[in-house]
């Protein structure tokens, strides 16, 4: 079924994505959600929309307080460290920066205002340890996760940020200070304390995107209770629909098992980089399965992705090396069909698996023209432009070649290597190639001479 999308404000799309709780390195399951959100924003831009994309940073909750105390750091020092690691990892995976990254600790005023409003409207109540949301007061509670709350015990509630996903409870909006919180608290009209986890996203999303916005993303594990609670808080406070389109990506498995440290199959991005896998192949694996399907991550799939990336690189080099002036009109027909098929696939509920197959089919057919010398430089430029159009969504092609000035030392080494090759001194030529690689330059020998490229780094 083709996705029928209608934005609230013509030509502009507002998106909110649940971001990280910054208490440790993000794992590859987290990055599946981040890359899915990146795919959505890239395709929205491809379609010509302007957008405002917000991703929160949860820098105060039970886990951040607990682990900052373990490391004997202030909450701010601790969360800043892991926030930086998170942004470094986003850059490594070629995930675009969103427009706003609000931190929870910078939005306490907005959260207090929202909790006060819920108290005034009768949706919240005060207990000894916290201010809670009374889910029985919100008649639509459970509409996102299709929960039946008729059997809820009166007064059942939970104060912790770690929630039992099997049970429905009133949840904490504002937690009163206790000794476990140490020096983490705010003096407010609600009392001395700190926000609950769920209230953060409602307050920040509505501040930057309005009472009702277009798209909210996140993993399926957030549907209940987090997103269910966001809806309850937000719609009770405004009386308006909260989100028009909820898009949730399925779980990531490792070798068909749930990822966990106890099974030894728990991986951060940095773990995979240390094993020698490239960021592009990791991104490829995380993007290639339709978001509504569980993604089974294996090292075999990573190796297959490395091969796919290599084929794409070789194809782009072949296109750039074409010098012929003999035009082939069939290429233009092929390009138009590929572009149309790609858009049909992405419009069909973001079917990236089919969209990728369209790109590789185009590459295969174009390679046949190249092999038979039936493609001109002009044809090749059009094909390159199409591949860049595809990659504006996929984000997996190699960055542009090295163009900056090369130092005198590098030039001398290149000339020395060329002379060694000419004299059949391949041992010296290989040695110089390795020297250049250590200096951040990689050489590619082509029929039109030596091509210089940056060494792709994982760090």
Read off the CATH number of the domain in which 160 is found: 3.40.50.620
The answer as to whether 274 is a domain residue is yes
pLDDT along the chain (459 residues), means of 10: 79 98 97 98 97 98 97 98 98 98 98 98 97 95 86 68 74 96 97 97 98 98 96 98 98 95 94 96 98 97 97 96 94 98 97 98 97 96 97 92 61 86 87 82 69 54
Q: Within this chain, do residues 379 and 427 fall inside the same structural domain, yes or no?
A: no
Report d(CA 134, CA 154) in Å as an integer: 10
The answer as to whether 260 is a domain residue is no
167 neighbors 180 (Cβ within 8 angstroms) = no
Q: Within this chain, do residues 64 and 179 fall inside the same structural domain, yes or no?
A: yes
Q: Within this chain, do residues 243 and 282 fall inside the same structural domain, yes or no?
A: no
Helix axes 299-320, 352-371, angle to 10 degrees: 40
pLDDT score of 459: 36
Q: Within this chain, do residues 345 and 285 fall inside the same structural domain, yes or no?
A: yes
Q: Within this chain, do residues 195 and 279 fall inside the same structural domain, yes or no?
A: no
Q: Within this chain, do residues 207 and 310 fall inside the same structural domain, yes or no?
A: no
Q: Within this chain, do residues 327 and 444 fall inside the same structural domain, yes or no?
A: no
Q: Within this chain, do residues 338 and 437 fall inside the same structural domain, yes or no?
A: no
The answer as to whether 442 is a domain residue is yes
The answer as to whether 184 is a domain residue is yes
pLDDT score of 304: 98
Q: Within this chain, do residues 123 and 180 fall inside the same structural domain, yes or no?
A: yes
Q: What is the pTM of this model?
A: 0.86
Number of domains in the chain: 3
Q: How far is CA 380 from the centre of its chain?
A: 31
pLDDT score of 150: 66
pLDDT score of 449: 64
Structure tokens at 343: 């858009």
Q: Within this chain, do residues 413 and 381 fall inside the same structural domain, yes or no?
A: no
The answer as to whether 259 is a domain residue is no
The answer as to whether 148 is a domain residue is yes
Domain containing 191 equals 12-249
Closest by CA to 56, choosing from 260, 157, 202, is 202
51 neighbors 15 (Cβ within 8 angstroms) = yes
Phi, psi at 69, each rounded to 5°: -65, -40
Report d(CA 266, CA 258) in Å as an integer: 9
The answer as to whether 1 is a domain residue is no
Q: Within this chain, do residues 413 and 382 fall inside the same structural domain, yes or no?
A: no
Q: Within this chain, do residues 132 and 186 fall inside the same structural domain, yes or no?
A: yes
pLDDT score of 410: 81
Burial of 83 (0-12, 13-18, 19+ CB in 10 A): middle
The answer as to whether 261 is a domain residue is no
Q: For residue 378, give the CATH number of its domain.
A: 1.10.730
């Amino acid at each position: 079924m083709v996705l029928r999308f209608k934005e609230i404000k013509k030509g502009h799309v507002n998106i909110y994505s649940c971001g990280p709780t910054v208490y440790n390195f993000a794992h590859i399951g987290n990055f599946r959600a981040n890359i899915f959100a990146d795919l959505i924003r890239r395709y929205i831009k491809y379609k010509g929309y302007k957008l405002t994309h917000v991703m929160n940073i949860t820098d105060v909750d039970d886990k951040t307080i607990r682990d900052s105390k373990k490391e004997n750091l202030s909450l701010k020092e601790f969360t800043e460290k892991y926030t930086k690691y998170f942004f470094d990892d986003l850059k490594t995976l070629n995930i675009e920066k969103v427009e706003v990254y609000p931190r929870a600790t910078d939005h306490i005023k907005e959260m207090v205002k929202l909790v006060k409003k819920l108290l005034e409207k009768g949706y919240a109540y005060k207990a000894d340890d916290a201010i809670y949301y009374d889910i029985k007061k919100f008649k639509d509670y459970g509409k996102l996760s299709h929960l039946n709350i008729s059997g809820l015990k009166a007064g059942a509630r939970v104060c912790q940020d770690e929630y039992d996903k099997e049970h429905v409870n009133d949840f904490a909006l504002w937690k009163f200070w206790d000794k476990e919180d140490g020096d983490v608290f705010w003096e407010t009209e609600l009392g001395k304390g700190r926000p609950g986890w769920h209230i953060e996203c409602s307050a920040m999303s509505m501040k930057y995107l309005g009472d009702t916005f277009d798209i909210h993303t996140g993993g399926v594990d957030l549907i209940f209770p987090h997103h269910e609670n966001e809806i309850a808080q937000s719609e009770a406070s405004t009386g308006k629909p909260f989100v028009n389109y909820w898009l949730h990506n399925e779980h990531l498995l490792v070798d068909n098992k749930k990822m966990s440290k106890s099974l030894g199959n728990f991986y951060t991005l940095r773990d995979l980089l240390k094993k020698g896998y490239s960021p592009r192949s990791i991104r490829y694996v995380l993007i290639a399965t339709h978001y509504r399907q569980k993604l089974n991550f294996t090292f075999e799939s990573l190796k297959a992705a490395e091969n796919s990336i290599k084929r794409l690189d070789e194809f782009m080099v072949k296109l750039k090396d074409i010098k012929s002036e003999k035009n082939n009109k069939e290429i233009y027909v092929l390009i138009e069909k590929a572009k149309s098929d790609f858009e049909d696939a992405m419009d069909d509920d973001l079917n990236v698996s089919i969209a990728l197959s369209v790109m590789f089919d185009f590459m295969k057919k174009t390679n046949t023209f190249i092999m038979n010398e039936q493609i001109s430089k002009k044809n090749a430029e059009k094909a390159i432009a199409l591949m860049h159009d595809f990659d504006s969504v996929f984000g997996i092609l190699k960055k542009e070649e090295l163009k900056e000035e090369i130092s005198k030392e590098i030039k001398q080494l290149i000339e020395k290597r060329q002379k060694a090759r000419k004299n059949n001194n391949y041992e010296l030529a290989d040695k110089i190639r390795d020297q250049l690689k250590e200096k951040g330059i990689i050489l590619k020998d082509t029929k039109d001479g030596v091509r210089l490229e940056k060494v792709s780094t994982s760090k």
